[in-house]
Every structure is written in C-alpha cells, then in structure tokens.
Amino acid sequence: MRSEPPHNFGKRIISIPTEEWKLSYLAGIIDGEGTVSLERSPNGRFLVCPTVQIANSSPALFDWIEREFKGCRRHKRGRTYKKPMFQWRVRRTRDVLALLQAVLPFLTIKKENALIVITSCEKRLRERGEEF
C-alpha cells in the first residue's frame, strides 16, 4: 500500500459554502493576497493547470479557509521570509471552476483573470467529456 505524501497538497476536494459573506470574504482575500492563473504543470510536461492560490503569514486566516473551504495549506520555508508563510492552493480543474464560479460576483481585481481561467476549465472538462 502506498503511503500518502506528507501534505496531500492538491489532492482534496474543496467545499463551497452557501453563505454569501463567506464567498465575498474569500473573494476579497483572493483579490488582495491571491493569484488566479493558468500555470505549467509541475510534473515536467507542458500542461496548463488552472490555479487559485493564496499566500499569507496568518495561520488564523488559513485555519478559517481550511474550515470553510477544505483543501490544505502548505508552510512555505525560505531564506527571505522573516515570518512563517503559508499557502493555500487549488489546482484540480473541477474545484477551480466551482470556486471561481462561486466567488466571481465578488471579485474585483482578479475578475478578468478568473473569467479566463473559468473558460479554460470549461474547455478542458468539455474535451474530457465531463459535465460541469
């Protein structure tokens, strides 16, 4: 039996709360501390991965995000960081699509990027023959 990697990064399915205030709060965090992008796959193949990512030094913020939206955080260690840095990232196409569709009405700064990533996710799922 294969053991799980220590952080399960990107393996969990996220949860989308129904309360608008939670969605708008997360949208504000994404606008201010986040990234909405299409990235190259980390496995060396040139695949485009839709990504929503938040980086911040507040463990309390990530406790709330994990409690309300699931997923997992990663502690970023680096020589240049004076405070501990944390990262929460969603890369699974279906999860990115669901998350962005839920927060889209509340995004301001990252709205244009979100629309591009949503279009890419829908195209990818359509090519796979999956419903979305």
32 belongs to a structural domain: yes
3 belongs to a structural domain: no
47 belongs to a structural domain: yes
102 belongs to a structural domain: yes
Write out the residue range of the structural domain in which residue 59 sits. Answer: 20-124
pTM flag (> 0.85): no
Strands 73-76 and 34-40: what pairing? unpaired
Pick the closest to residue 50 from 62, 63, 41 (CA basis).
Answer: 41
For the chain, what is the domain count? 1
Taking residue 19's Cβ as centre, other Cβ atoms within 10 Å add up to: 9
Joined tokens for residue 1: 């039996």
Joined tokens for residue 125: 């799922």
67 belongs to a structural domain: yes
Pick the closest to residue 53 from 85, 19, 17 (CA basis).
Answer: 85
Q: Give residue 47's identity as a one-letter amino acid code.
A: L
Pick the closest to residue 68 from 9, 36, 21, 10 (CA basis).
Answer: 21
49 belongs to a structural domain: yes
Residue whose pair of structure tokens reads 């193949």 in the numeric block: 45
Task: Kindly state the percentage of the chain with pLDDT values over 70.
Answer: 81
36 belongs to a structural domain: yes
pLDDT (tens digit per residue) in 19-74: 999 999 999 999 999 999 998 766 666 678 899 999 998 889 999 999 999 977 77
Q: Residue 31 belongs to what H/E stretch? A: helix 20-33
Question: Which of 12-26, 65-79, 110-124 has the lowest average pLDDT?
Answer: 65-79
Residue 97: give its domain's CATH number.
3.10.28.10
